[in-house]
Amino acid sequence: MLGELWQSLDPSLFWEYRVILLSGLAVNVGIFLAAAVVASLLAFAIGLARMSRIGPLRAAATGYAELFRNTPELVIIVWTYYVLPVLIGRLFGIRLDLSPWLASVVALGLAYSGFMSETVRGGLLSIPRGHVEAAMSIGMSGWTILWRIMLPQAIRRMLPEALNQFVSLFKATSIVSLIAVQDIMYRVSMINVQEMRPLPLYTGAALLYCAVVIAASQAIQHLSARRQSWV
Amino acid sequence: MIDNFNRFVLANADMLLFGMWITARVCTLGFALAIVLGALACALRLYVPLLRPIAIGYIEFCRATPIFVQLLWVNYVWPELFGFPRTVEGAGVIALALQSSGYLAETFRAGIQGLPRGQAEAGLAIGLSRLTIMRRIVAPQAVLVMAPAIVNQMAVVVKSSTLVSVIAIPDLMYQALKIVNQWFEPIEVLTTAAALYFLIIFSLSTGAERIAVRFRRKFGLVELH
């Protein structure tokens, strides 16, 4: 079976298309980076809102997090791409064209902001009350306490979990081909239509993803092991 | 909008219901297979030193590859390589099972290794066989600890199952997109599908949390505050 796999996994075909495949992967990386920024910013806003003293704000933020944590990524992407422009058009009477790329970034950013707001909340909750009280007793304002006391500590504690979320986010970028972003899976399918050789193409794509994700997780584990000495 | 809802969603309720039935079937079969494969991978990893590297490689591959890539890989490559699956639904079930079996194997391992060693040693001391220790002492306690993670994995399976529409399994997502392509009215149908998925997944993950809290209280698995 392995011999057969090796025979039909003609590496030269994969090598022949290396530029197309790697530039496809670069599109994934681009979407990943943009979506990671969107998700992190939203996650901080939502995470802070979930700890607010204002009841309705807290409830709204919790609802937001639950909504995006419990809806499949594909549904969010398709909804953002097909429904959002039409809905905005009907409601406000403006024509809005969302490019597939932008729709993927927005959708993945929204989807992962739900998961990550939980991480942010956990990080903020892990800070001992005494630190905040000490800052208050020397007369720091709320924002200064957040900026100088809470966030620097919370971010360090959130880092390992947040990085794992980023790995999941990177894996999720594989589905953007479904709204015709020309990423690696899109290109693999296109080449497959021409060459009719699914085995080397799809196996290659799977192994490529596997290599990237395992390398990233190993790096994260290494980093979190070292982090023990920071805190 | 209410008009459209009646015309596109209610008029096609049978299609959406049929889609939900297919979703339920694919998820149930996929999850059942995932439990079997996950238990097997975990057992090989823990108890068969010779096959340990293979089990670890399998688990890491399943966890590190996106479900969409696995789905296409199983659907297009496996028939050529292994001669099965012969239907798209088979491919969908296998892909969902592969993905979850990797995560479940690690959940099982954490559950088994998380038990204090004294439990198994006490069994050995009174002369129980290894199999009996597994069946009567380790497994019942480990299952209790793992229950929330297992239910959570079920929610992940339902989430991932939306992708099987891509290989033309007529699940809920597939039916919703079919209605959209027929009428070019995406708002009501896709929003309804999104709401249905949210309800299913939300109840699964809320259920997982409830189970976790109840077990912790009932069995004192976590120190009380």
**pLDDT over 70 for what percent of chain B?**
97
pTM: 0.89
What is the pLDDT averaged over residues B9-27?
92
Domains of chain B (ranges; CATH) run 2-218 (1.10.3720.10)
B80 with A1: Cβ contact below 8 A = no
Question: Is the per-residue pLDDT at B62 higher than 50?
Answer: yes
Judged by CB atoms within 8 Å, which residues 152-211 of A form the interface with B?
Answer: 171-172, 174-175, 178, 185, 188-189, 192, 198-199, 202-203, 205-206, 209-210
The yes-or-no verdict on residue B32 having pLDDT over 90 is yes
User: For A198-220, how does the pLDDT look when each residue is reduced to its tens digit (9 = 90+)?
Assistant: 888 888 888 889 999 999 999 98
Question: Which segment of A44-48, A94-98, A132-136 scores lowest on mean pLDDT?
Answer: A94-98
Domains for chain A: give ranges and CATH numbers.
Answer: 2-227 (1.10.3720.10)
Tokens, residue B142: 């480990």
Structure tokens at B92: 């969908």
Average pLDDT over residues B23-28: 96
Q: What is the mean pLDDT of chain A?
A: 88
* A218 interfacial to chain B (CB closer than 8 Å): no
B84 touches chain A (CB under 8 A): no
Q: Which two tokens stand for residue B122?
A: 């006490």
Q: If you average pLDDT over residues B40-65, what whole number do you get?
A: 94
Taking 50 as the threshold, does the pLDDT of residue B64 lie above it? yes
Identify which of B81, B162, B205 has the shortest CB distance to residue A72.
B162
Asked whether the beta carbons of residue A70 and residue B180 sit closer than 8 angstroms, the reply is no
Q: What's the whole-number average pLDDT of chain B?
A: 89
Tell me what pLDDT residue B54 has.
Answer: 94
Could you tell me the sign of the dihedral formed by the alpha carbons of A181, A185, A186, A187, in that order? positive
pLDDT score of A45: 94
Q: Could you give the angle at the alpha carbon of B211 between the alpha carbons of B222 and B202, nearest 5°? A: 130
Predicted-assembly ipTM surpassing the 0.90 threshold? no
- Interchain pair B80, A69: CB under 8 A: no
Residue that the structure tokens 């620097």 belong to: A152
pLDDT tens digits for range A53-100:
898 999 999 999 999 999 999 999 999 999 999 888 888 888 888 899
The arithmetic mean of pLDDT across residues B70-79, rounded, is 92
Judge if the upstream peptide bond of residue A152 is cis by omega within 30 degrees of 0. no
Determine the residue among B162, B166, B204 to mutate to test chain A binding: the one whose Cβ has the most chain A Cβ atoms within 10 Å: B162
